Structure 1
Amino acid sequence: MAGNTLANMFKVKELRNRLLFTLAILAIYRLGCVLTIPGIDAKALIEYFENLLAQNKSNAFASYMDFFVGGAFSNFSVFMLGVMPYISTQIILQLLLIVFPSLKRAVQEDGGQQKFALWTRVGTIIVCLIQSFAVTEYAKNIGVISLNNELAFKALAILTVTTGSMITVWLGDQITARGIGNGISIMIFAGIVARIPDAISQLVQGVQNGTINFMFVIAALIIYIVVIALVAFEEGGERKIPVHYAKRVVGRKMYGGQSTYIPFKVNPSNVIPLIFASSFLTLPMQIISSVASKGESAPKWVQALSSLLNPNGWVYNILLVVLIVFFAYFYTQVTLNPTEIAKQIRENGGSIPGISADKTESTLQKILNRLVFPGSLFLALIAVIPTVIQIIFKFPSAITHLMGGTSLIIMVGVATDTMAQIEALLKMHHQDGFIKKGKIRSRNL
């Protein structure tokens, strides 16, 4: 069955072209992740990380950023910031739309989406400039600059990194428009997958050197398998809200009278809250980490704040949990607005059985709240698993980040969405899909 499905994927011309286009874009992206920006001494960079490894230390923030960009941050590559500035800008603008109703009305007008896209691009450039400047300070503090003229290096590095990030966003848009899946999510997915072989290599070396207990590895693998199963189970769960449409006569024809349902997923926002929460913390963390990298010359309060915001620490993980819950509610309200859904039901002559028309909105809101809260807590629980495993089993941060809950949620979520798109295209061309009987099942909760 799987062999036939894979063959069918490449038999369908449209799907084959989309898959090959996506793979070509990802190849370009990965190439940009290994091209070091001008002015960086590659030898000094390698020595810096080798010295950290020899001292059984790690740069927590660099490992954290590498998780999203496939090692591009530690390489000081042209794509070292990836799509994170773009996501951070989207979050800021979405929050501003809620705070300032006039901005929301402007977006809802004719041509408003084009305005919003322009604001997002301009905002992304601003965020890139801030983050790329922090990158130059970080490079200076760890001593990997090869140019004698510091000002020339900063100008060149800021221009290169900002341009690289905007190219990355453009590549993601091209995947969305002409490839398979959501381009931005696919880019993050590719970065995570690219780091897995290195993480496995570190794990094997740790076991061989005796620094990691083999039984702990077995226990961790069992936990990861259980997490993957739970994530896949949660992704398919949904609550079906029945809606009945009354009959109505238009001219000489009668319309309506059918019953349908509104599918609310257990986790309506999928992996978005996790990505939003992580990227929201990235900007302040990078600025603080860059200043703290000066060592003893950095202000004590900055060093203390950098220690508190360590991705492997409890303060960071508590903030991550809070932000995941917040963005789960926030994104669900944006994409599944109960007021708009209730309005559409009423305008089409529909009603929820047993619920009066004036209580439709409050009923939908109550159902969403009951779904979003446990769903967001589940996401948060999975996201903090890497920290727990690192503390209990003493795994290196690079391994726990890449084989931990966050990566599993993103990989399973993106893979599920991408598979659904491929499934739909195969069905459209009358081909068998991935799943038996040709459809992806969901569970009614």
Structure 2
Amino acid sequence: MANNPLVDIFKIKDLRSRVLFTLGVLIVFRIGGTLPIPGINPTALKNYFDTHQGSGLGIADYMDFFAGGAFKNFSIFMLGIMPYISTSIIMQLMMLAFPSLRKISEEDGGRKKVQRYTRYGTIVVALIQSYAAAVYANSIPDILTIGRTEYTIIAMLTVTTGTVFLMWLGEQINQRGIGNGISLLIFAGIVARMPNGIYVLIRAIRENRLNLVFVLLVFVMFIGVIALVIYEQQGQRKIPVNYAKRIVGRKMYGGQNTYIPFKINPSGVIPVIFASSVMTFPLQIANNLGVQYKWLRTVYTWLQPGGITYMVIYTLLIIFFAYFYTQVSLNPLEIAKQIRENGGTIPGIRSEKIEEYLTRILNRIILPGSLFLAFIAIVPSIVQSVFGFPTQVAYLMGGTSLLIMVGVDLDTMSQIEGHLRMHHHDGLTKKGKLRSRNL
């Protein structure tokens, strides 16, 4: 009788401990998303959002989408993990702009220093965003049970601490869980919104605000999108490499033919997460502080989720981060250097031209891959807007959520499969091989 991979997961003590630890962390994450900031009246807050549902509170739904419902609860985790991702992007851009910082990261212990700088930067970004959220709360009538100044201070400290705690939980999943910690927290937040999204969709159908035929057509389209995402995530271009034979002492090494697998989209779902994080920061600041500054309200109007300007900028950011992250993770100069140092050659390519050849191949792969990624990210949202889907359902079933859920699910499966194969068990899939990428 063939072994069941799901049963094998719980037979292996180490893997079982990692899976249960990860589930425990995700439960803590969900509980924290329901605990309100001190000084908030949960009943008044709920009544406010129920009253204004569908009246242009797009940014609240947008933030709620990534925070797993924690934003509308004004909980201690209301910012989710997005401040950490924003800071990570800033740090990576600074490493490209400032060679001295990049040199520090390449020294012994340099990665820990850069990681420490990222943590400090996360605190700063979280303080800015939490202040904007506090100002937003001050504009909502009757939800504060304490003074505005007192609440602002408590909210900034509480929400920033919650973000730092989530950052730590993500690191714990990487060390003691199944890995992919930060991505899993985002994944859990999106999945947590599914029951509410399904309820809203069913209610809209019952109230004849949505045509059932249109809903079925959109669901078929989403199934096709999921299939395309999986196909795109697994597609690759194989670069053949031949290694010459070398004699070291009395032993002979090399003499093998292998290949370098370049994925169609080498950066996976990371460009979508990065682009969403970059868009979230100015949107929240512009919306929450727009009450005090009219020019910020104008910025928010231009960048409102679902608008033309938003989609154009979002598409450009996905393409940019696809190129950016690929250059960071797959440096053609480093790959060519390793090939030459190990006596390898690429058939038909002179040794000094390897970098140029690999760069050309990567550029040819990244552009269509990133355009495909951007296309999947925005087209479902456009279709949903045409059919008049509720905001909660639109964000949940949009291309962004599908890309993140499918991408993180594939990465998590690859992590588990790696552990199973390490303990001489069959993987989760009978054919093919899953590939992982951590965030």
Q: Displacement, 1:441?
A: 6.4
Q: Displacement, 1:213?
A: 1.0
CA contact (8 A) 1:42 1:144 kept: no
Q: Displacement, 1:299?
A: 4.3
Select which of 165, 174, 197 maps to 2:195: 197
Change (3 A) 1:115 1:374: same
Matching residue's letter, 2:395:
H
**CA–CA separation in structure 2 for the residues paired with 1:374 and 1:113:** 32
**CA–CA separation in structure 2 for the residues paired with 1:270 and 1:112:** 26
CA contact (8 A) 2:381 2:399 kept: no
CA contact (8 A) 1:385 1:405 kept: yes
CA contact (8 A) 2:411 2:434 kept: no
Matching residue's letter, 1:210:
N
1:12 aligns with 2:12: yes
Matching residue's letter, 2:127:
L
1:429 corresponds in structure 2 to 423
1:400 corresponds in structure 2 to 394
**CA–CA separation in structure 1 for the residues paired with 2:351 and 2:141:** 67
Q: Displacement, 1:397?
A: 1.7
Structure 2 matches for 1:262-411, cutoff 5 A?
262-292=260-290, 294=291, 298-411=292-405
**CA–CA separation in structure 1 for the residues paired with 2:79 and 2:146:** 25
Q: Displacement, 1:409?
A: 0.7
Matching residue's letter, 1:201:
Y
Q: Displacement, 1:150?
A: 1.5
**CA–CA separation in structure 1 for the residues paired with 2:406 and 2:294:** 41
Change (3 A) 1:252 1:3: closer
Q: Displacement, 1:328?
A: 0.3
Report the secondary structure of 2:236's partner residue.
strand
1:29 aligns with 2:29: yes
**CA–CA separation in structure 1 for the residues paired with 2:434 and 2:82:** 32
Root-mean-square deviation (CA), in Å?
1.5
Structure 2 matches for 1:106-121, cutoff 5 A?
106-121=104-119
Q: 1:19-78 CA distances to partner (integer Å, 9 max, x unpaired)?
A: 10000000000000000010111121111111112xx42410111111111110011000
Q: Displacement, 1:386?
A: 3.8
Q: 1:360-391 CA distances to partner (integer Å, 9 max, x unpaired)?
A: 00100011111111111111111112431232
**CA–CA separation in structure 2 for the residues paired with 1:255 and 1:33:** 56
Report the secondary structure of 2:262's partner residue.
strand
Matching residue's letter, 2:185:
M
1:98 corresponds in structure 2 to 96
Q: Displacement, 1:300?
A: 3.9
1:162 corresponds in structure 2 to 160
Q: 1:299-353 CA distances to partner (integer Å, 9 max, x unpaired)?
A: 4433222111111211111100000000000000000000010011111111101
Any unmatched runs of 5+ in structure 2?
none
Aligned length: 435
2:433 corresponds in structure 1 to 440
**CA–CA separation in structure 2 for the residues paired with 1:277 and 1:238:** 23
**CA–CA separation in structure 1 for the residues paired with 2:343 and 2:46:** 67
**CA–CA separation in structure 1 for the residues paired with 2:276 and 2:163:** 17
CA contact (8 A) 1:86 1:124 kept: yes
Q: Displacement, 1:146?
A: 2.0
**CA–CA separation in structure 2 for the residues paired with 1:96 and 1:27:** 35
1:41 corresponds in structure 2 to 41
**CA–CA separation in structure 1 for the residues paired with 2:426 and 2:331:** 35
CA contact (8 A) 2:193 2:396 kept: yes
**CA–CA separation in structure 2 for the residues paired with 1:66 and 1:162:** 17
2:86 corresponds in structure 1 to 88
Select which of 167, 172, 179 maps to 2:177: 179
Matching residue's letter, 2:113:
K
**CA–CA separation in structure 2 for the residues paired with 1:170 and 1:2:** 39
2:206 corresponds in structure 1 to 208
CA contact (8 A) 2:205 2:211 kept: yes
Any unmatched runs of 5+ in structure 1?
none
Q: 1:73-125 CA distances to partner (integer Å, 9 max, x unpaired)?
A: 01100001111000000000100111111111111111211110110000000
Report the secondary structure of 2:258's partner residue.
strand
**CA–CA separation in structure 1 for the residues paired with 2:7 and 2:229:** 28
Matching residue's letter, 1:282:
T
Greater than 6 Å deviation, 4+ residue runs: none
Q: Displacement, 1:166?
A: 0.4
CA contact (8 A) 2:323 2:366 kept: yes
Matching residue's letter, 1:440:
K
CA contact (8 A) 2:414 2:434 kept: no
Q: Work out the percentage of aligned pairs sharing the same amino acid.
A: 55
Report the secondary structure of 2:261's partner residue.
strand
Report the secondary structure of 1:28's partner residue.
helix
Q: Displacement, 1:131?
A: 0.4
Change (3 A) 1:102 1:272: same
Matching residue's letter, 1:125:
I
Change (3 A) 1:2 1:403: farther
**CA–CA separation in structure 2 for the residues paired with 1:110 and 1:23:** 34
Matching residue's letter, 1:378:
F
1:419 corresponds in structure 2 to 413
Q: 1:401-436 CA distances to partner (integer Å, 9 max, x unpaired)?
A: 101111111111111111111111111212222212
CA contact (8 A) 1:181 1:417 kept: no
**CA–CA separation in structure 1 for the residues paired with 2:269 and 2:2:** 27
Matching residue's letter, 2:182:
I
